[in-house]
Amino acid sequence: MFSLKTCSVDGCHHYICAGEETCYHHSRDQETILAQAQSLLAGSSDLFDLSVSEAHFSHLTLLPRRMAGNNLAWCTFTDVDFSSLAMTNCFFDFCLFERCRFNAVDVRHTVFAGSRFLSCDLSNSRFIHTNFSGIAAFTTNFSECDFYYSTFNTAFLTDSPFEDCNLKKTDFRHSLRKNISFRYSNLEEAHR
Amino acid sequence: MKIYQYFSASALCNSYLVANKETGRALLIDPGSVEVELVRLIECHHFSLEHVLLTHGHLSHWEGLGTLKKIYPVEVWASEHSRFSFPFKAVTDGEKLDLCGLPIEAIHVPGHSLDSIVWKIGGALFTGDVLHSGWVGKSGGLSEQRLLLDVIEKKLLTLDENTLIFSGHGSPSKLRIERLFNADLRPSRVRTPTP
């Protein structure tokens, strides 16, 4: 699990980067921290306890492996391929995902709440016990996924299909859905 | 601190294994069911399981305790308002403990049940059935629901907004996320005028 200590700068509530006293935003050596994070993300070893907030990542392909206990809240991801990863207990809250791919991922107990998904592909994956509360998704494909016990409450979903999904105990309460297809999905078993 | 979630498909509730990274001493929150996978999780990491923290008295959150105690010599902690048929150490509201070298605080949040305790361990809250991602725990009636919302507002929503939330059911969250997106916590719901 990433360190739950917060940044030493007064008024900043972000978590510190591993081995630092400040968060990424207040670090004096942002370039080194970002380079380390990019190399860890692009590497082939299992990735645990990484903590970088408010960083920008683009044009990365993450190799299939395990990720656990990572904090990447408030980051932006453009053209990043997360496919075939196994992810547990990771925090991607309030991120921006643009043209990212999450195909055949196995995600559990992970947080994407408050994030924006623009033209992303999450199809053919498992998102079990995953928090999508308050997300905004535009032209993003959620089809052929298992969303058991995941939450989409207060989400804003537009032009994003949820076809052939397992929606048992999935929470869509207070969500706004525009042009969403639930064909072949068990929407009757979801909370809405 | 290391946190591992374990979802029991038979008890349909989340258990949490919390371990001290340096010493390997560990505690378990809400052993709803003790299955081979959970024991494997403890043993694969060579953790020494010493304590069990219970969030409240509902059976689905402690039914595995009997099995667990046959395997590990654990000490059980629960609210002073709890009534169990097995021995446990009672904690009061605001009581601070040091278990497994981890700083722990017991926060009494009645409403879902009289004996509900939210365990604060470092920057993480283990909320049991009090507060989940997107919804607040169910109560027996309107007065209990109002009490629950009032206590959540006073004791939990005043904490740092980055505090992580690990609930008895569903996905993890943060206090900021619940403040923004949990419809049950919207001001109109929390501050219902007293008739």
Query: Is B181 within 8 Å of chain A by CB?
Result: yes
How much is the average pLDDT of A5-18? 87
ipTM: 0.94
State how far the Cα of A191 lies from the Cα of B184, in Å rounded to an integer.
14
| Three-class HEC string of A73-104 | CCCEEEEEECCCCEEECCECCCCEEECCECCC
Query: Is A125 within 8 Å of chain B by CB?
Result: no
What is the per-residue pLDDT for A104? 96
What amino acid occupies position B21?
Answer: K
Query: Is A110 within 8 Å of chain B by CB?
Result: yes
User: Of how many residues is chain A composed?
Assistant: 192
| Fold of the domain built from segment(s) A48-189 | Pectate Lyase C-like (2.160.20)
What is the per-residue pLDDT for A1? 85
Query: Is A16 within 8 Å of chain B by CB?
Result: no
How much is the average pLDDT of A48-70? 94
pLDDT of residue A18 exceeding 50, the answer is: yes
What is the per-residue pLDDT for B194? 43
pLDDT of residue B178 exceeding 90, the answer is: yes
> Nearest Cβ partner of A113 from B122, B123, B181?
B181
Give tens-digit pLDDT for B110-130. Answer: 999 999 999 999 999 999 999
What is the per-residue pLDDT for B2? 93
Domain ranges within chain B, ordered by starting residue: 2-189
B167 DSSP β-pair partners: B128
pLDDT of residue A58 exceeding 90, the answer is: yes
pLDDT of residue B32 exceeding 80, the answer is: yes
Give tens-digit pLDDT for B65-78. Answer: 999 999 999 999 99
State how far the Cα of B126 lies from the Cα of B137, in Å rounded to an integer.
13
- C-alpha distances in Å from residue A108, one per residue of A36, A91, A170, B7: 25, 11, 14, 10
> Nearest Cβ partner of A150 from B160, B171, B182?
B171
DSSP code of A124? S
What is the per-residue pLDDT for A11? 85
Sign of the alpha-carbon dihedral angle for A114, A115, A118, A119: negative
Query: Is B158 within 8 Å of chain A by CB?
Result: no
Query: Is B4 within 8 Å of chain A by CB?
Result: yes
Interface subset of B 75-94, CB within 8 angstroms of A: none
Give percent of chain B with pLDDT exceeding 70.
Answer: 95
How many angstroms separate the most distant Cα atoms in chain A?
52
Mean pLDDT (chain A) is 94
What is the per-residue pLDDT for B189? 54
How much is the average pLDDT of A109-137? 97
Give tens-digit pLDDT for A128-177. Answer: 999 999 999 999 999 999 999 999 999 999 999 999 999 999 999 999 99
What is the per-residue pLDDT for B195? 41
pLDDT of residue B41 exceeding 60, the answer is: yes
How much is the average pLDDT of B147-154? 94
Give tens-digit pLDDT for A88-103. Answer: 999 999 999 999 999 9
Give percent of chain A with pLDDT exceeding 90.
Answer: 83
What is the per-residue pLDDT for B188? 55
Cβ A192 vs Cβ A167: under 8 Å:
no
What is the per-residue pLDDT for A5? 86
Distance from CA of B175 to the nearest CA of A (A): 11
What is the per-residue pLDDT for B187? 67
pLDDT of residue B193 exceeding 50, the answer is: no
How much is the average pLDDT of A25-37? 90
Domain ranges within chain A, ordered by starting residue: 48-189
Q: Give the CATH superfamily of B2-189.
A: Ribonuclease Z/Hydroxyacylglutathione hydrolase-like (3.60.15.10)
Query: Is B172 within 8 Å of chain A by CB?
Result: yes
> Nearest Cβ partner of B7 from A129, A130, A173?
A129
How much is the average pLDDT of B165-180? 95
A-B contacts at Cβ under 8 angstroms: 101
